[in-house]
């Protein structure tokens, strides 16, 4: 109590001007996302908190002249899966903080589906090793549905200790919407636990509308990032949800949904990336690029900044950041202007952490030994990849451009005398396989993929949302087998094969999901892999070869997907046969 009172006394004394502030940023244009004003003045900081702003003059141990540039609150990504960047939390912080992102709301359900609570604890440890504020959600659906084979199962009783942690804001996206709507006991247990602990619940509600949406929201679901139309967006806002506009590496909803943002509903809308690769961040930016897009689509700059700051903070019940306010966390971004949004400097907790695009603090990475060795496959052979089709008319997963939603189509394919699929490069249908990699169950799901464009060889990846088994696509059983075998030997990652020869490989040692490389190093390797995927395998240039494939196993996204148990139809929420 004595130390706390002393700190509080000093904080108040600094705010009153009786003692020096730690840092005073003078001659800046303060972007006030609460009043909607921009005022010339200064911001004073003490012990990581804002203690003065406006035209009052302060003396500081350090004085910084902003030269008339714009000072905005640090940007917040309202929903992201760190694992989908393929780099560790520390390395993600290193590349997004220079773009002005100071806080992310992260759901570690990817690693939880592989390593369970052990994976979440690794992520919590890694979060302490970056200046980026990482606010975690407790993964709600591990596995995402009862129809998958994940590396772990987390029920309500398992999550109580971690969900009660002050660093976890609530339950992450509740993907098992049918479980809630149909009052599944295990789903309701998780909802009741969150309510008992006073925690928020994030949503995942593609295509839900009307009474189904009402039933889902009645469980206390607060937000959704799965809107794809303005009509869906407006219904959710009118009923009390926050809507997260997603603009990541695979999904691009901003241009469509920003048209539905109005002066009266804008405070219920926020920005998120969901899944974002280093290539996107290093070449285009992070939330800063989304703000630029909002303005290019006609949104007022201050409203655009609200979507990236205060709205995101309030949506998860955080009130000490997201705005430049007295007593607030001193997470600040200095911008050259409000058009290009070039980030000059970034402060987190009053500490200068990035300057001219460079992350300044030293990184000491977390120990990854607890999350290595996650690829365990049994009874896998080339013969297990053979199909035994009784008809040439089959159900096919059709990739739709610009996102991760797929369409169910029926096509005629060639087959041999044993009923196995024969690849025809003129048809744009290839074989796709999902191989269980957690518990050596030997399960293998086989299906067909259209719109991918592959003409030669195969690709295998140990990232396959959300249970993260191995997913592979290719033109022959031998090529797929070669790629998967190489992936198993290197403990997970990405592998390209052509003519039975490995032409590109990237190890992902952290749970088979993330690399221990820097963002720049991984980007270089990914660029080379993508180039070979397009040039040598013939994968369509309209398709992101890796991330697109990794979502073809996610059964909670419409319309048809493949798991290790077989072909799954979203509308019927059940498995269907390969034959149509």
What average pLDDT score do residues 160-171 get? 94
pLDDT digits (tens, 9 = 90+) for 141-153: 998 778 889 999 9
The yes-or-no verdict on residue 1 having pLDDT over 70 is no
State mean pLDDT over 270-274. Answer: 97
* pLDDT, tens digit (0-9, with 9 covering 90-100), for 494-506: 999 999 999 999 9
- Stated as kind and residue range, the H or E segment containing 403 is none
Query: Is 406:449 a contact under the CB 8 Å cutoff?
Result: no
The answer, yes or no, to whether residue 418 has pLDDT greater than 70, is: yes
pLDDT exceeds 70 at position 200:
yes
Helices (H) and strands (E) in the chain, counts: 17, 30
Nearest in space to 551 (alpha carbons), one of 423, 432, 374: 432
Q: Is the pLDDT of residue 471 over 70?
A: yes
Distance separating alpha carbons of residues 17 and 516, to the nearest angstrom: 46
Domain spanning 2-68: CATH superfamily: Urease, subunit C, domain 1 (2.30.40.10)
Name the band, by pLDDT with cuts 50, 70 and 90, for residue 402.
low
Instruction: Output the pLDDT for position 144.
Output: 77
Contact criterion met (CB below 8 Å) for 130 and 373 = no
- Mean pLDDT, residues 537-553: 93
Instruction: Tell me if residue 312 falls in helix, strand or coil.
Output: helix
Closest among 556, 553, 557 to 565, alpha carbons compared: 553
Q: Using CA atoms, how far apart are residues 66 and 42, in angstroms rounded to an integer? A: 9
Query: Does the CA dihedral 238-240-246-251 come out positive or negative?
Result: negative
Mean pLDDT of 483-512: 97
Rounded to whole angstroms, the Cα distance separating 446 from 261 reads: 42
- The encoded tokens of residue 563 equal 């798991």
What is the mean predicted confidence (pLDDT) over 315-337? Answer: 97
Average pLDDT over residues 459-475: 97
Q: What is the DSSP letter of 83?
A: G
Q: How confident is the model at residue 432 (pLDDT cuts 50, 70, 90)?
A: very high
- Return all residues near 218 (Cβ < 8 A) that are at least 6 apart: none
Global confidence as pTM: 0.94
User: How many CB atoms are located within 10 Å of the residue 155 CB?
Assistant: 12
The DSSP H or E segment spanning 576 is strand 574-576
Q: Cis omega before residue 36 (within 30°)? A: no
Give the whole-angstrom CA distance, residue 580 versus residue 131: 53
Whether residue 2 is predicted with pLDDT greater than 90 in this model: the reply is no
Domain ranges of the chain: 2-68, 74-322, 372-576
pLDDT band at 526 (very low <50, low <70, confident <90, very high): very high
Comparing CA positions, the residue from 356, 313, 301 lying closest to residue 104 is 313
Beta bridge partners of 72: 333
pLDDT at 508 over 90: yes
Task: Read off the pLDDT of each residue in 86-108 and give the average, rounded to a whole number.
Answer: 98
Percentage of the residues of the chain whose pLDDT score is greater than 90: 92
Per-residue confidence (pLDDT) for residue 251, from 0 to 100:
83
User: What pLDDT does 14 receive?
Assistant: 96
Distance CA 368, CA 136 (A): 19
Q: Spell out the residues 6+ positions from residue 4 whose beta carbon is closer than 8 angstroms to its own.
A: none
Is 275 in a helix, a strand, or coil? coil
CATH class, domain 74-322, is: alpha beta
The HSE-up count of residue 119 (CA atoms within 13 Å, CB side) is: 30
- Whether residue 372 has pLDDT greater than 90: yes
Categorize the per-residue pLDDT at 249 as very low, low, confident or very high, splitting at 50, 70 and 90.
confident
Alpha-carbon distance of 165 to 160, in angstroms, equals 9
In this predicted model, which residue has the larger pLDDT, 404 or 469?
469
Asked if 272 and 172 count as a contact pair (C-beta separation under 8 A), the reply is no
- Report the chain's mean pLDDT, rounded to a whole number: 96
Q: What is the mean pLDDT of residues 94-113?
A: 98
Cα gap 275→273, rounded to integer Å: 5
How far apart are the C-alpha atoms of 48 and 332, rounded to whole Å?
Answer: 11
Name the nearest CA neighbour of 346 among 287, 273, 269. 287
Residue 359, Cα to own-chain centre: how many angstroms?
A: 21
Task: Please write the tens of the pLDDT for every residue from 275-286.
Answer: 999 999 999 999
What's the rounded mean pLDDT across residues 172-187? 94
Give the residue-averaged pLDDT of 111-139. 97
pLDDT of 137 above 90: yes
The pair phi, psi for residue 414, each rounded to 5°, is: -85, 145
- At 250-265, the pLDDT tens digits run 788 999 999 999 999 9
Q: Looking at the predicted structure, is the pLDDT value of residue 74 above 70?
A: yes
- Burial (Cβ within 10 Å: 0-12, 13-18, ≥19) of residue 512: buried
């Amino acid at each position: 109590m004595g130390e706390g009172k002393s700190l509080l006394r000093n904080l108040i004394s600094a705010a009153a001007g009786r003692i020096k502030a730690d840092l005073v940023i003078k001659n800046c244009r303060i972007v006030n996302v609460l009043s909607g004003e921009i005022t010339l003045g200064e911001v004073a900081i003490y012990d990581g908190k804002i203690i003065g702003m406006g035209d009052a003059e302060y003396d500081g141990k350090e004085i910084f002249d902003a030269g008339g540039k714009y000072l905005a609150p640090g940007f917040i990504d309202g929903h992201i899966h760190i694992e989908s960047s393929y780099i560790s939390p520390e390395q993600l912080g290193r590349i997004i903080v220079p773009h002005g992102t100071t806080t992310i709301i992260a759901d570690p359900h990817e690693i939880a589906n592989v390593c369970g609570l052990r994976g979440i604890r690794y992520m919590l440890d890694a979060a302490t090793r970056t200046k980026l504020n990482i606010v975690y959600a407790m993964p709600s659906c591990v596995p995402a549905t009862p129809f998958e084979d994940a590396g772990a199962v987390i029920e309500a009783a398992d999550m109580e200790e971690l969900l009660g942690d002050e660093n976890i804001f609530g339950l992450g996206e509740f993907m098992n919407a049918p479980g809630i709507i149909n009052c599944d006991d295990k789903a309701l247990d998780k909802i009741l636990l969150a309510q008992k602990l006073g925690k928020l619940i994030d949503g995942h509600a593609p295509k839900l509308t009307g009474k189904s949406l009402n039933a889902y929201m009645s469980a206390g679901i607060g937000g959704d990032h799965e809107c794809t139309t303005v009509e869906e967006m407006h219904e959710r806002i009118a009923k009390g949800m926050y809507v997260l506009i997603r603009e990541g590496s695979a999904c691009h909803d901003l241009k469509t949904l920003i048209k539905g943002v109005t002066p009266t509903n804008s405070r219920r809308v926020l920005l998120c990336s969901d899944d974002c690769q280093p290539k996107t961040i290093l070449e285009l930016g992070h939330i800063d690029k989304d703000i630029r897009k909002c303005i290019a689509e006609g949104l007022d700059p201050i409203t655009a900044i609200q979507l990236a700051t205060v709205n995101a903070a309030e949506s998860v019940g955080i009130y000490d950041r997201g705005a430049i306010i007295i007593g607030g966390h001193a997470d600040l971004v200095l911008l050259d202007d409000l058009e290009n949004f070039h980030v000059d400097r970034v402060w987190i907790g009053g500490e200068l952490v990035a300057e001219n695009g460079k992350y300044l603090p030293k990184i000491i990475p977390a120990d990854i030994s607890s999350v290595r060795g996650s690829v365990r496959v049994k009874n896998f052979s080339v013969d297990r990849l053979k199909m035994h089709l009784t008809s040439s008319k089959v159900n096919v997963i059709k990739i739709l451009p610009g996102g991760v939603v797929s369409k169910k189509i029926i096509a005629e394919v060639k087959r041999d005398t044993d009923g196995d699929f024969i690849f025809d490069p003129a048809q744009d249908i290839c074989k796709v396989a999902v191989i269980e990699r957690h518990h050596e169950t030997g399960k293998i799901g086989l299906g067909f993929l259209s719109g991918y464009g592959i003409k030669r060889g195969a690709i295998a990846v140990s990232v396959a949302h959300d249970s993260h088994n191995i997913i592979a696509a290719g033109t022959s059983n031998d090529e797929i087998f070669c790629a998967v075998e190489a992936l198993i030997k290197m403990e997970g990652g990405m592998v390209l094969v052509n003519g039975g020869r490995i032409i590109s490989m990237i190890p992902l040692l952290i749970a088979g999901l993330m690399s221990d490389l820097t963002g720049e190093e991984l980007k270089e390797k990914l660029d080379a892999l993508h180039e070979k995927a397009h040039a040598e395998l013939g994968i369509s240039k309209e398709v992101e070869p890796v991330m697109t494939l990794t979502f073809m196993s996610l059964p909670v996204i419409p319309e048809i997907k493949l798991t290790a148990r077989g072909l799954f139809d979203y509308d019927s929420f059940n498995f269907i046969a390969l034959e149509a």
